[in-house]
Structure 1
Amino acid sequence: MADDGGRSARVTVVGGGVVGLTCALQLARAGHTVEVRAADAVADTTSAVAAALWFPYRAFPAESVLRWGARTLTVLTDLADDEATGVRLLPGTVVHRTPEPDLWWGEAVVGHRPATPDELPAGAPAGTRCTLPVVDMRRYLTWLLAACRSAGVEVVTTQVDRLSAVPGDVLVVAAGLRSGPLLDDDTGVPVQGQVVRLADPGLPGWLLDEDNPAGLTYVVPRGDDVVVGGTAVAGATGREPDPEVERAILERACSLVPELRGAPVLSRAVGLRPARPTVRLDRTLVDGRPVIACYGHGGSGVTLSWGCADDVVALV
C-alpha cells in the first residue's frame, strides 16, 4: 500500500455497529477493498438501541466532536430525502435548567432559537428549539448494511479476540467497548442506558431534558413508535431492563409529555454506550501493521459517525 493514497489497500474493519459500518462504506467508496468483522448482527448491536437523535452526548473533546458532528449532520440531513434510510428531520426542544446553558453544539445547527413558553413542557424554565435528524435505527442499520454490500464490502460475523488473527494491509478498530482490550487500552467505560419503546400517539417533535432533577429524560418519536429514555449509569454492565427503572423513566417522560400516558409498550431494551475520556481516532503500528483506532464515542455514535469515517479514510 502506498502512503500517498494513490493505491488501494485491503482494509479490515473490526466492528459492525454504526461507526464500523460507516467507516467501511466510506473506505469502499474511496477505492479500498474492505471486509468487516462483526461479533454481532446489526440488530443486536448497541447502535440498534439508540433513540437516535443527532445530538452530541458524553463524547469529547468538544472541538473535534463539533467538527465530526457538523459533518454527520450534513450527511444525515441529505439522507432524510431518502425514505429508505429511516432518517427524517424533526423539530424539537432541548430543555435548559440553568441560567446560562452552554450551547456549544449550536455552532453546527442552523436556525436554533430560544423556545417560546408554549413550546416548553410543564416545569421547564427555558429551552432551545431546533430541527434535527431523527434516525430509526432498525431501518437505518439495514440501509447502511445494504449500502456496504452494494459497495463491495464483505461482512463476516465473527468475534475478534486478537488483531494478529485479522487479515488486511490496514486494520480499523471500531468495535465500541470491545476496542480497548484489542489495543491494550483500559480507559473505556460502559455507560448503561435503558429505554422503553411506546406506540407513537402522533407526537409532533422530540424532547431532550438532560438536566431533569429526576434523571435524564428524552422522548424521540419515530412515526411507528417513540423511544423514551433514559439512564446513564457509568460502569454498569447489565443488559436486562429493570422494571422499576422503566417505571421511573415513564413517569418522568409522561410528566413532560402527557400525551404518552396510556400509550402501549411495544418493546424495551438496554444498551451499553462505549464511553472514554476522549474519542480515540488515531493511527498506530501494531506488529508493524497500520491500525486505525476509532472508538469511545459514548452516546454519540450516530452523531459523529460520518465525520469520524472521513478521518479514518484520510488516515488509511
Structure 2
Amino acid sequence: MRDDDVVVVGSGVIGLTTAVVLAERGRRVRVWAEEPARGTTSAVAGGLWWPYRIEPDELVSGWALRSLAAYREWAADSGRTGVRMVDGVQAQTRLDGLGPWAAEVPGLRAATPEECAGPGLWARLPLIDMPTHLAWLRERLLASGGTVQERAVGALGDALAEAPVVVNCSGLGARALVPDGEVRPVRGQLVIVENPGVRTWYGRVDPVSHEATYLLPQPGGLILGGTSRDDDWSLEPDPDEAADIVRRCALVRPEVAGARVIEHRVGLRPARSAVRLAREVRDGGVLVHNYGHGGAGVTVAWGCAQEAARLATAAS
C-alpha cells in the first residue's frame, strides 16, 4: 500500500468522474465496481443537465454550476465526450421557482408562446449521451494511470485494507454497504424510439404524481420519459407505463405516436434526503462518501467530484 493510493467504489458517473479528478491530481486510483459502467444506472440515464429533486439547495448550486462549466467546455468535442449543447424547454416552470443556480445559467429565460404553451423556460443545456460519456471518462482515467477492476465489494473495510483513502461512490449500494437506510430507489422507466425529426429537448414534471414527460434527442434514438416511483425495486419494464409514456410525449410532439420502439429501459435512481458528501475516519483509514444524488448525478458530477477529491487530499 502506498500513501497516494485511493480506491473509488462505484463506476457510475459519480464514481468515474471522481476517479478522473483524483488521478489527474497525481493519485494512484483504482475503481472497484461489481458492474462495468455500461451496467450502471448512469448508463441508462436521459443525460440532461438540470438540478432535479436533489438537496441541499445551498450546496447543489455550486456543484451544478461547476459541472455546467465543464460540460460546456467538453461539448466542443462532442464526438468523444458525448456532450452536446441542445436547445429546449422546461415546461410549467418559472425562474422564481428555481434555486440560486438559475440566475447563473447563460441564456436561461422565459419561453415564448411559440416555444411553450403556458409557463416555461427556454435554455441551451448540456445533453449527454451517457454510454459515450462513461466510456470517455474511463479512457481519461486510464490515460492518467488509473485502473478499473470489476469486483464485488462486500464491505468498505475491504477497500480500506488496500488503500489509505477510499471514496464511496456506490450509489444505491450505499444502503447496504455503509449501511445507510436513508438511501432508497426511485424507479425510472424510459422508452427509446426512432427519432421522427425531434431536434430540441422538452421536459415537464408533474409535482403531484410520479409522472414526468420529457423528450431527449440522443444519437441512438429519441428518449421518451418517464416515471419517478419511490421505493420501487423492479427493473422490469412495465408495458402499461411504456404506453402511457408514449401517449404523454405524443401530446407534445404528435409525430412520436407512430415512431418505432427501439428499446425499453429501467433504472433505479439512488435517492436520499440530501447528498452525502463528507469524510470520516474508519478502520485506520479515511473514507469519503459521495452518494445520494438521485436523478441529478449527471448534473452535479463534476462539482461533487472536485469536492470529494478535496476531502480525500486533505485527509491524507
Amino acid of the structure 1 residue aligned with 2:266: V
Of residues 261, 269, 288, the one that matches 1:265 is 261
User: CA RMSD of the aligned region, Å?
Assistant: 1.7
Measured in 1, the distance between the counterparts of 2:183 and 2:220 equals: 34
TM-score when scaled to structure 2? 0.93
Report if the CA contact (8 A) 2:95-2:110 is conserved: no
Say whether residues 1:13 and 2:8 are aligned partners: yes
Instruction: Give the unaligned 5+ runs of structure 2.
Output: none
Report if the CA contact (8 A) 1:79-1:87 is conserved: yes
Report if the CA contact (8 A) 2:276-2:291 is conserved: yes
Amino acid of the structure 2 residue aligned with 1:161: G
Which position in structure 1 is the counterpart of 2:90? Answer: 94
In structure 2, do the counterparts of structure 1 residues 309 and 213 end up closer, same or farther at CA, with 3 Å as the change threshold? Answer: closer
Amino acid of the structure 2 residue aligned with 1:298: G
What does 1:19-98 correspond to in 2, within 5 Å?
19-82=14-77, 83-96=79-92
Which is richer in helix?
2
Deviations 1:151-182 (A, max 9, x none): 11110001101112121110000010112322
Which position in structure 2 is the counterpart of 1:140? Answer: 133
Of residues 253, 261, 279, the one that matches 2:249 is 253
Say whether residues 1:127 and 2:134 are aligned partners: no
Q: 1:213 Cα shift?
A: 7.2
Which position in structure 1 is the counterpart of 2:187? Answer: 192
Which position in structure 2 is the counterpart of 1:228? Answer: 224
What does 1:161-240 correspond to in 2, within 5 Å?
161-166=154-159, 167-211=162-206, 215-240=211-236
Report if the CA contact (8 A) 1:196-1:229 is conserved: yes
Q: 1:260 Cα shift?
A: 1.3
Deviations 1:78-111 (A, max 9, x none): 00001211110000001016x8850224123111
Which position in structure 1 is the counterpart of 2:288? Answer: 292
TM-score when scaled to structure 1? 0.93
Instruction: Give the unaligned 5+ runs of structure 1.
Output: 2-6
Report if the CA contact (8 A) 2:15-2:170 is conserved: yes
Sequence identity of aligned pairs in percent? 40
Counting matched residue pairs gives 307
Q: 1:259 Cα shift?
A: 2.4
Report if the CA contact (8 A) 1:46-1:272 is conserved: yes
Measured in 2, the distance between the counterparts of 1:213 and 1:95 equals: 15
Report if the CA contact (8 A) 1:66-1:108 is conserved: no
Amino acid of the structure 1 residue aligned with 2:229: V
Measured in 2, the distance between the counterparts of 1:304 and 1:18 equals: 10
Three-state SS of the structure 1 residue aligned to 2:76 is coil
Measured in 2, the distance between the counterparts of 1:259 and 1:8 equals: 58
Report if the CA contact (8 A) 1:69-1:108 is conserved: no
Three-state SS of the structure 1 residue aligned to 2:294 is coil
Report if the CA contact (8 A) 2:91-2:203 is conserved: yes
Say whether residues 1:159 and 2:168 are aligned partners: no
What does 1:97-108 correspond to in 2, within 5 Å?
102-104=97-99, 105-108=101-104
* Range 40-49 or range 177-186, more displaced: 177-186
Q: 1:202 Cα shift?
A: 2.2
Three-state SS of the structure 2 residue aligned to 1:48 is helix
Divergent runs of 4+, >2 A: 211-215
Amino acid of the structure 2 residue aligned with 1:96: Q
Three-state SS of the structure 1 residue aligned to 2:97 is coil
Amino acid of the structure 2 residue aligned with 1:308: C
